[in-house]
Amino acid sequence: MSECVLEEIFIKRSQQKRKTSPLNYKERWFILTNEKLAYYDFDPEKGKRKGLRGSVDLEKIKCVEIVQPEPNAPQDRIYAFQIVYDEGPLYIFAKSEKVRAQWIKKLKEMVRFNKDLTQKYHPCSWMDGVWLCCQQEVKQAMGCKVLDGKNGFSFKPPGRRVSRKPLPPTPTEETPGRPLPPEPPGPPVSMTVIAQYNYTPVAPQDLELRRDEEYTILDKSDANWWRAKDKYGKEGYIPSNYVVKTEEGLERYEWYCKNVNRSQAEKLLKTENKDGGFMVRDSSKTGKYTVSLFTKSGGEPGGSCRHYNICTSSQNQFYLAEKHNFTTISELINYHQHNAAGMVSRLKHIVSNRARPPSTAGLGYDMWEIDPRDLTFIKELGNGQFGVVQYGKWQGQHDVAIKKIKEGSMSEDDFIDEAKIMMKLCHENLVQLYGVCTKQRPIYIVTEYLSNGCLLVYLREGLKQAPSTVQLLEMCKDVTEGMAYLESKQYIHRDLAARNCLVDSNGTVKVTDFGLSRYVLDDEYTSSAGSKFPVRWSPPEVLLYCKFSSKSDIWAYGVLMWEMYTLGQLPYERLNNTEIVAQVSRGLRLYRPKMANEKVYSIMTSCWLEKAEERPTFEELVLTVQDLLYELQ
Ligand code: ADP
Ligand code: MG
């Protein structure tokens, strides 16, 4: 056995591998050796070490940092630190600042050459299914704070408490008109943000945003529209997705493109077609960043893209191709804007996806009734269950899609009530509902417009060349993320399929028509025996007992993945609906598409498990797809 480096009795928090398992805190005898951090039971009276309770291999450690004390922490749990490794964070509480600093310093020193060190971390703990710092609900979610490279000793003394989000109940059958789960209350202190986009006021209570200017946030009780004050003291509501916190480093830089994946980065860089065009994006590996760079001197006729991971050095410094180390990523980028230093070119031109602002939850604060006189109709996009869908403009400049609801096709009053809830659903992988025109007949539903149209058509005929497996998986990831958001809001889609997804100009896929099937007035569509019922996307419990849940959405997601990997074939092509009901209940499943490897197919089959509770959640699928993407790249 290797020698003991440090030894101490600490309080250890249970790791809460399941969201609902209660937390406990136990004193353990910690022993740090050159290979492991092990902790043991001990007898406090005799002062003797007893059985081994667990250990962490040092080489698996990704981050060692202090952590803010938990809300209302007792005195003996103030000096907390975290050891993040592949199974999540381990929280340990030291008796004093001195002991904590000593252990953090030693541990950092010992893991400094680990290859998986992260560049971001969570300053607060994970508790009952949520990160207390950023309110993200996925345990593996990327850290929300960039490590400052100073070994984390710039710690503010405890005092500020972070409020805790209540644990949502497990998603089951929803009742119409029920409100979405409550949003976490905002932090009590006022927060300063920077506008990433301009925003022109629309509703009377809106506040104008000017890009790069600072604003103070006064009220965050509405997750989508925050009350803010500008530097002249003027107050009003702003879309929360147009601003970033000032201390959150990278978002303020034009070259940082947060929600851009590898394929999209290549597309954006190639479209720009400038030698030395670049952007920084989140790597498919959680917590890391990648620089994507376009060069015309790489030998390929149309130019080519290179992707460089931003690495972390032993001293927690950042570097790219060669070892020119920097304390911050912005200093690193600044340096490489002038020096290629090992890359094919220096970073010459910023290519940004920030030209187009994201969708807002409604066109202005508290605005869901839209004046039809503000709409201009430009062209017909298609025909759906409710009638014609048109592309148009709102107030002459904002792209919108307008569904004219054919009279008698929808239970309108019920829908109008629900629309207020649907408007609040706001995610980059969901087609945003902007509002409704209900004062006239036919009523209109106004949504975000996506120029590449329906995913099913896009898969069948819209792709210029056969998509790569990475590209298909990236599209799956988009859907998974949108659905994980719906799942977290306990919102059931009920009709997830490629025909109900749309593709935007960048190739991002967004889910649409969520929950809408409940308002269709057409027995052929709503009855599971009807000819228009989505039998091919339904699990046995829906076909047999009409039992909808997030788990029936998961089944449909598996079928949608299958549609992706067959480029839009009809599931169970040779069978009719009656045959499908009989065969699927007896265990028949779709075959493995040629383009799907075993791992991809195993995701699909996990969605088609007979027992609904054994299927994964969307939250879990996000991680599975992400891991697979990382393996492929
Ligand atoms: P419904 O849900 O009423 O059956 P759809 O949503 O399927 O109707 O719309 C019919 C067609 O119109 C789609 O297949 C798609 O091509 C087009 N379409 C619908 N909504 C949009 C949108 N927001 N952006 C772009 N095209 C759209
Ligand atoms: Mg539809």
Instruction: Return the closest-CA partner of residue 16 out of 140, 129, 169, 133.
Output: 129
Q: What is the pLDDT of residue 521?
A: 92
Confidence of residue 90 (pLDDT cuts 50, 70, 90): very high
> Count of CB atoms within 10 A of residue 296's CB?
17
User: If we measure between CA atoms, which residue out of 306, 569, 603, 583 comes closest to residue 456?
Assistant: 569
Pairwise CA distance, residues 360 & 452, whole Å: 20
Residue 356's pLDDT is 80
Q: Write down the pLDDT at residue 152.
A: 36
With H, G, I as helix, E, B as strand and everything else as coil, classify residue 198: coil
CA of 379 from ligand 2 middle (Å) equals 18
CA-CA distance, 616 to 19, in Å (whole number)?
Answer: 15
Q: What is the pLDDT of residues 331-355, one digit of tens each?
A: 999 999 999 988 899 999 999 877 7
8 Å CB contact between 213 and 194: yes
Higher pLDDT, 607 or 189: 607
Two structure tokens written together for 195: 């506008």
> Whose alpha carbon is nearest atom 9 of ligand 1?
384
Residue 184 in this model has a pLDDT that exceeds 60: no
Catalytic residue among 230, 478, 495, 504: 495
Ligand 1 center–CA 259 separation, angstroms: 24
The Å distance, Cα 32 to ligand 2 centre, comes to 58
Å from CA of 502 to ligand 1 middle: 8
For domain 372-448, the CATH architecture is 2-Layer Sandwich (3.30)
Contact call for residues 82 and 125 (beta carbons, < 8 A): yes
Is residue 449 in contact with ligand 1, taking CB distance under 6 Å? yes
Pocket test for ligand 1, best of 359, 379, 381 (most atoms within 8 A of CB): 381
DSSP string over 357-386? PPPPSSSSTT--B--GGGEEEEEEEEEETT
Considering the chain, what is the average pLDDT of its residues?
A: 88
Range 447-476 average pLDDT? 92
CA 532 to ligand 1 center in whole angstroms: 17
Instruction: Answer with the residue of higher pLDDT: 464 or 326.
Output: 326
Cα–Cα nearest to 6, from 53, 48, 58: 58
**CATH tag, 255-350:** 3.30.505.10
Q: Stretch 562-579: mean pLDDT, rounded? A: 97
Pocket test of ligand 1: the residue of 393, 430, 454 to mutate, having most ligand atoms within 8 Å of its CB, is: 454
Give CA–CA dist 479/456, Å, rounded: 13
Q: Report the nearest-CA residue for atom 2 of ligand 1.
A: 384
Evaluate: CB of 497 within 6 angstroms of ligand 1.
Answer: no
- Kindly give the number of the ligand 1 atom that is closest to the alpha carbon of 512: 6
Structure confidence at residue 9 as a pLDDT band (50, 70, 90)? very high
Question: What's the confidence (pLDDT) of residue 167?
Answer: 40
Q: Is 219 designated active site? A: no
- DSSP class of residue 460 equals I
Residue 512: is it exposed, middle or buried by C-beta count within 10 angstroms (0-12/13-18/19+)? buried
Confidence of residue 287 (pLDDT cuts 50, 70, 90): confident
Percent of the chain beyond pLDDT 90? 59
pLDDT of residue 166: 41
Q: Is 292 helix (H, G, I), strand (E, B) or coil?
A: strand
401 CA to centre of ligand 2 in angstroms? 13
DSSP annotation string for 414-427: HHHHHHHHHHT---
* Ligand closest to CA 383: 1
Class (C level, CATH) for 455-632: mainly alpha
Distance of CA 240 to the CA centre of its chain: 16
Mean pLDDT, residues 231-258 taken together: 87
Q: Which residue type, as a one-letter code, is found at position 414?
A: D
Q: What is the pTM of this model?
A: 0.71
Three-state DSSP state, 110? helix
Strands, E assignment, 1-68: 4-13, 25-33, 36-43, 48-57, 63-67
Residue 480 has pLDDT above 60, yes or no: yes
**Residue 206: pLDDT band with limits 50, 70, 90:** very high
Is the bond leading into 539 cis (omega within 30 degrees of zero)?
no
In this structure, are residues 117 and 65 in contact, taking their beta carbons and an 8 Å threshold?
no
pLDDT confidence bin for 246, thresholds 50/70/90: confident
Phi, psi of 435 (to 5 degrees): 165, -175
Q: What is the CA radius of gyration of the chain?
A: 26
> What's the Cα-to-Cα distance from 478 to each of 106, 260, 280, 488, 507, rounded to whole Å?
41, 11, 19, 16, 10
Identify the band that residue 149 occupies on the pLDDT scale cut at 50, 70 and 90.
Answer: low
Strand partners, 235: 229
Q: Is 389 a pocket residue for ligand 1 (Cβ < 6 Å)? A: yes
Q: Is 446 in the pocket of ligand 1 (CB under 6 A)?
A: no
222 phi and psi angles, rounded to 5 deg:
-95, 120
Would you say residue 175 has pLDDT above 60? no
Any idea which fold 4-152 has? PH-domain like (2.30.29)
What is the average pLDDT across 130-152? 73
Mean pLDDT across the stretch 233-245?
93
> For ligand 1, atom 27, which residue shows the shortest CA distance?
453
* Sequence letter at residue 192: T
Residue with tokens 């508790």: 127
Contact assessment for residue 491 and residue 497, using Cβ atoms and an 8 Å cutoff: no
The Cα 413–Cα 422 span in angstroms is 14
pLDDT at residue 87 above 60? Answer: yes
| Number of separate helices (H) and strands (E) present in the chain | 12, 30
Q: What is the mean pLDDT of residues 404-408?
A: 95
pLDDT at 139: 81
Domain spans of the chain? 4-152, 191-250, 255-350, 372-448, 455-632
Of the chain, the percentage scoring pLDDT greater than 70 comes to 92
Task: Output the pLDDT for position 163.
Answer: 37
Query: 172 — phi, psi (to 5°)?
Result: -135, -155
Q: Does domain 191-250 have CATH number 3.30.1300.10?
A: no
The DSSP call for residue 204 is T
Mapped onto helix, strand or coil, the DSSP state of residue 400 is: strand
Q: Which ligand is nearest to the CA of 379?
A: 1
Quick check: helix, strand or coil at residue 55? Answer: strand
Span 176-181, average pLDDT: 62
For residue 389, the ligand 1 atom closest to its alpha carbon is: 12
Report which of residues 630 and 394 the model is more confident about: 394
Starting from the CA of residue 496, give the closest ligand. 2
Q: Is 422 close to ligand 1, i.e. is its CB under 6 Å away?
A: no
Going along 72-135, which residue ranges are E strands?
A: 79-85, 88-94, 120-121, 126-127, 130-131
The mean per-residue pLDDT over the stretch 6-28 comes to: 86
Beta-carbon neighbour count of residue 447 at 10 Å?
22
Lowest mean pLDDT of 51-60, 119-128, 211-220, 369-378, name the range.
119-128
Peptide bond into 181 cis (omega under 30): no
Name which of 346, 625, 303 is nearest 477 in CA terms.
625
Question: In this predicted structure, which of 243-247, 294-298, 538-542, 559-563 has the lowest mean pLDDT?
Answer: 243-247
User: Of the bound ligands, which one is closest to the alpha carbon of residue 454?
Assistant: 1
